[in-house]
């Protein structure tokens, strides 16, 4: 039909089609260009505003970026004999940071698991409460760790526990959402089979759903652990314990203690890279092993 | 026959072995988790936490975040009574004016009605009378710098008495008396002066009155005057808060999109199918790993040295860290592009740049955009914490408000704002993702 219509088209019709096509192309290009223009405008004006509100300007500061690392490195190089001993000294603080991350990932993952199963269609114990649990997860996800950490430091005093609770809270919301997306695709036949034997809800979840989704869950959890190590180090800087607190102390001494700062930088960098590699290796293994 | 039995036995054996292993892991995994949590509880000293935790602080936090107090203060050295909300100068009542429940007969004779029968009277010669229902009347007077009262032993535990200081805490309000001043606090629910401070002519007027009523301040129109007084409210600092929120969003925006713009060309260098030289590929990949490994914390510390505190430093810290992450994600996406489309484009005689533009970019843009927009929301959260370190944005205001340990209603306000902004960014990035990618998808299939 279309062939017939095309061959039957007169040249004027063809030019008409061509013209309307070109108009469409031009309009699309204009919209694309307009979007791009607005985006560039936003970026440039945003940069100018940020530059104006910063204490030191970008153009005055950019060539000083490497001054501080150079100072730290040269001082650390002078005192390089101290570095191994310092790294041993700071190792307990590093361990605390890793422990905060691991414990909060573990607790957050367990909370997230329960929240996810309660908010997944087809699996939820109380299907009517699904929206409630989803909103709870949304709010938990939206709370930055620093908010809870600072408030808890006021109540509980400094130390690792406020940071742990803060990170676990956010982790529960973040993992809960990811878990729920995975669990939504779980095969329900196993669950049906179990319920026909009279299994309770927790038995159905534990035996019917978890074995199916475990590799994906573990992979997300490992990724989260890696993120949480960073979060736990940064929370240490604002008042919780661990390597972040040591870094702030070393920094506040200024020159003369830069060998300590360098030792902490090395430890932190090494830890992050190590767990990054570890988690990415095991994650690919888990996903491919399916 | 024997063969079959042997095989059956073997299968049985291996099956029961598998069962045993399964049972073992089913118990071992929870046991290991439990053991680890026990170790954490000991090494973090969770039991000692109960001792260190301050329930008083928790109480202050819980009550102060949604209520405010009005101070009625008598200067015991120079005489004279003044009223101020939260005892701050910014919340002070103008000279000679007081809340309606404070009756000033003359400067030496003030009656403060705390409701429910609780009444405090400031009398001449630094004397104070506190009428408390179901208890009686407390009379206290400052004689030669020493507080003398009519209180008899045993003194109830809600009264704290020494020669230099007396504090009486009741449900209706609190009285505190020292050598220099006598103060009465009365608590009210809500965030007082949120809209206007007391020195604004619009304070105490309702919204319809301001919008539709007659002109309150003769020099300005009601709406513009009200907006300007709200914006410049000295107590809640709406202007500063709005700027701080803007700075935080700006950090996230500049950092995320800046990182994406820089990472895209570098990702081509790191992708196997676009970068023929192994050396270049290796350098680009190590660069990504390095900036990611250094982490936002160290980048923030380093960049703050060069640029000083402010939003630009935070934006650059996010930019550098995420450049590594984006570089890695983008190069993986590039390695997964479909070669057929590029072949198709090159068969029309397209030059290399055109091949990228029409063969590669359309394939990867949805993937990249989805990632970038996802990071935009998560970076809004990072920007609050980076702001607390570099000194910019709402993160800084929050840390300052918490460290002064005074204005918990402001802390509550900032927390609500931060959560609201993050949820807004989450919704916005989801909406944009739907518009840009979902729209394109439906266009492609139709």
pLDDT of residue B442: 36
State what percent of residues in chain A have pLDDT above 70.
96
Q: Does domain A70-288 have CATH number 1.10.3720.10?
A: yes
Nearest to B301 among A56, A139, A251 (CB): A251
Contact flag B54-A145 (C-beta cutoff 8 Å): no
pLDDT tens digits along A58-85: 888 788 888 888 888 888 888 888 888 8
Count of positions (residues) in chain A: 290
**A and B: number of Cβ contacts within 8 A:** 182
- Does any CB of chain B come closer than 8 Å to the CB of residue A210? no
**What are φ and ψ of residue B137, in 5° steps?**
-120, 130
pLDDT tens digits along A188-214: 888 889 989 988 888 888 888 888 888
Give the Cα separation of B99 and B96 in Å (integer): 10
pLDDT of residue A283: 82
pLDDT of residue A7: 59
The whole model's pTM is what? 0.83
Q: Which residues of A touch B385 (CB under 8 A)?
A: 144-146, 234-235, 238
What does the H/E/C string look like for chain A?
A: CHHHHHHCCCHHHHHHHHHHHHHHHHHHHHHHHHHHHHHHHHHHHHHHHHHHHCCCCHHHHHHHCCHHHHHHHHHHHHCCCCHHHHHHHHHHHHHHHHHHHHHHHHHHHHHHHHHHHHCCCCCCCCHHHHHHHHHHHHHHHHCCHHHHHHHHHHHHCCCHHHHHHHHHHHHHHHHHHHHHHHHHCCCCHHHHHHHHCCCCHHHHHHHHHHHHHHHHHHHHHHHHHHHHHHHHHHHHHCCCCCHHHHHHHHHHHCCCCHHHHHHHHHHHHHHHHHHHHHHHHHHHHHHHCC
Token pair of B429, please? 């990035």
pLDDT of residue B444: 31
B171 to A15, B99, B184, B188, B367: CA distances (angstroms): 87, 19, 13, 12, 60
B427 to A116, B368, B385, B401, B434: CA distances (angstroms): 20, 18, 21, 28, 10
pLDDT at A3 > cutoff 60: no
Fold of B238-445: MetI-like fold (1.10.3720)
pLDDT of residue B379: 93
Tell me whether strands B67-75 and B81-85 are parallel, antiparallel or unpaired: antiparallel
The structural domains of chain B, with segments of one domain joined by +, span: 68-189, 193-226, 238-445
Is-contact B379 B256, C-beta < 8 A?
A: yes
From B57's Cα to the closest Cα of chain A, the distance in A is: 6
- Does any CB of chain B come closer than 8 Å to the CB of residue A138? yes
Nearest to B306 among A67, A106, A276 (CB): A67
Give the Cα separation of B404 and B80 in Å (integer): 29
Contacts of B175 (CB under 8 A, 6+ apart): B120, B128, B130, B166, B167, B168, B182, B183, B184, B185
Token pair of B151, please? 């209180």
pLDDT in tens, chain B (446 residues): 567 788 888 888 888 888 888 888 878 888 999 999 999 988 888 888 878 777 877 877 777 778 888 888 888 888 788 888 877 777 778 777 778 888 887 777 888 888 888 888 888 888 888 888 888 888 888 888 788 888 877 888 888 888 888 888 888 888 888 888 888 888 887 777 778 777 777 777 777 777 777 777 777 777 777 888 888 877 788 888 999 999 999 999 999 999 999 999 899 899 888 888 889 999 999 999 899 888 888 898 888 888 888 899 999 999 999 999 999 999 988 888 888 888 888 888 888 888 888 888 888 888 888 889 989 989 999 999 999 888 888 999 998 888 887 778 888 899 999 999 999 998 998 888 888 776 544 333 22
The structural domains of chain A, with segments of one domain joined by +, span: 2-58, 70-288
Instruction: Collapse the DSSP code of B180 into the 3-class scheme (helix H, G, I; strand E, B; otherwise coil) and give the result.
Output: coil
Give the Cα separation of A41 and A39 in Å (integer): 5
What is the predicted ipTM?
Answer: 0.85
Token pair of A154, please? 């006021």
Nearest to B250 among A46, A233, A272 (CB): A46
- Does any CB of chain B come closer than 8 Å to the CB of residue A69? yes
Q: Which residues of B touch A142 (CB under 8 A)?
A: 381, 419, 422-423, 426
Contact flag B307-A155 (C-beta cutoff 8 Å): no
From B44's Cα to the closest Cα of chain A, the distance in A is: 6
Is-contact B297 B317, C-beta < 8 A?
A: no
Contact flag B295-A154 (C-beta cutoff 8 Å): no
């Amino acid at each position: 039909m279309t062939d017939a219509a095309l061959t039957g088209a007169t040249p004027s019709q063809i030019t008409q089609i061509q013209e309307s096509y070109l108009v469409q192309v031009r309009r699309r290009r204009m919209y694309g260009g307009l979007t791009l223009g607005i985006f560039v405008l936003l970026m440039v004006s945003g940069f100018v505003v940020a530059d104006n509100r910063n204490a030191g300007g970008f153009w005055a500061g950019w060539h000083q970026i490497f001054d501080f690392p150079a100072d730290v490195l040269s001082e650390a190089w002078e005192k390089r004999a101290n570095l191994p001993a310092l790294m041993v000294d700071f190792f307990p603080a590093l361990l605390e940071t890793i422990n905060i991350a691991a414990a909060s990932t573990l607790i957050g993952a367990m909370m997230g698991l329960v929240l996810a199963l309660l908010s997944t269609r087809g699996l939820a114990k109380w299907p009517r409460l699904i929206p409630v649990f989803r909103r709870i997860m949304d709010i938990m996800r939206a709370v930055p760790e620093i908010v809870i950490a600072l408030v808890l430091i006021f109540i509980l005093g400094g130390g690792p526990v406020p940071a742990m609770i803060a990170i676990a809270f956010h982790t529960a919301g973040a993992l809960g959402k990811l878990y729920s997306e995975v669990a939504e695709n779980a095969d329900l036949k196993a669950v049906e089979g179990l319920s026909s034997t009279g299994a309770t809800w927790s038995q159905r979840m534990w035996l019917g759903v978890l074995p199916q989704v475990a590799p994906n869950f573990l992979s997300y959890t490992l990724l989260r652990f890696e993120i949480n190590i960073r979060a736990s180090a940064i929370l240490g800087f604002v008042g919780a314990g661990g390597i972040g607190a040591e870094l702030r102390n070393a920094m506040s001494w200024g020159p003369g203690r830069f060998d300590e700062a360098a030792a902490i930088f090395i430890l932190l960098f090494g830890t992050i890279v190590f767990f990054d590699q570890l988690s990415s290796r095991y994650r690919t293994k888990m996903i491919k092993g399916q | 026959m024997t063969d079959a039995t042997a095989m059956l036995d073997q299968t049985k054996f291996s099956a029961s072995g598998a069962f045993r292993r399964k049972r073992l892991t089913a118990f071992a995994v929870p046991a290991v988790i439990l053991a680890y949590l026990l170790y954490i509880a000991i090494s973090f000293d969770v039991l000692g936490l109960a001792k260190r935790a301050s329930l008083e602080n928790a109480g202050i936090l819980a009550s102060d975040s949604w209520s405010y107090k009005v101070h009625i203060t008598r200067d015991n050295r120079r005489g004279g009574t003044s009223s101020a909300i939260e005892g701050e100068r910014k919340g002070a009542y103008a000279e000679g004016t007081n809340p309606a429940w404070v009756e000033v007969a003359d400067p030496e004779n003030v009656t403060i009605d705390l409701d429910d029968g609780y009444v405090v009277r400031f009398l001449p010669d630094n004397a104070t009378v506190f009428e408390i229902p179901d208890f009686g009347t407390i009379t206290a007077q400052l004689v030669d710098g020493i507080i003398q009262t009519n209180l008899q032993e045993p003194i109830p535990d809600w009264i704290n008495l020494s020669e230099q200081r007396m504090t009486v805490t009741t449900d209706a309000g609190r009285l505190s008396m020292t050598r220099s001043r006598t103060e009465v606090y009365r608590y009210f629910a809500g965030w007082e002066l949120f809209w206007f401070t007391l020195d604004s002519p619009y304070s105490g007027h309702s919204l319809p009155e301001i919008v539709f009523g007659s002109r309150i301040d003769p020099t300005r129109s009601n709406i513009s005057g009200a907006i300007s007084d709200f914006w410049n409210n000295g107590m809640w600092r709406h202007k500063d808060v709005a700027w701080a929120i803007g700075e935080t969003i700006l950090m996230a925006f500049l950092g995320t999109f800046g990182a994406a713009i820089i990472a895209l060309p570098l990702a081509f260098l790191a992708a196997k199918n676009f970068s023929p030289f192994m050396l270049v590929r290796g350098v680009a990949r190590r660069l990504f790993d390095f900036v990611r490994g250094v982490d936002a914390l160290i980048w923030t510390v380093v960049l703050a040295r060069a640029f000083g505190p402010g939003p630009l430093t935070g934006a650059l810290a996010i930019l550098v860290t995420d450049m590594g992450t984006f570089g890695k994600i983008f190069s993986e996406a590039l390695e997964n592009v479909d070669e057929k489309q590029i072949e198709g484009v090159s068969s029309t005689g397209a030059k290399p740049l055109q091949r990228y533009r029409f063969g590669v970019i359309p394939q990867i843009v949805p993937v990249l955009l989805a990632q970038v927009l996802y990071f935009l929301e998560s970076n809004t959260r990072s920007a609050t914490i980076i702001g607390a370190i570099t000194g910019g944005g709402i993160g800084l205001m929050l840390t300052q408000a918490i460290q002064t340990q005074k204005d918990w209603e402001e802390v509550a306000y900032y927390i609500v704002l931060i959560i609201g902004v993050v949820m807004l960014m989450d919704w916005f990035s989801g909406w944009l993702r739907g518009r840009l990618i979902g729209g394109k998808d439906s266009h492609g299939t139709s």
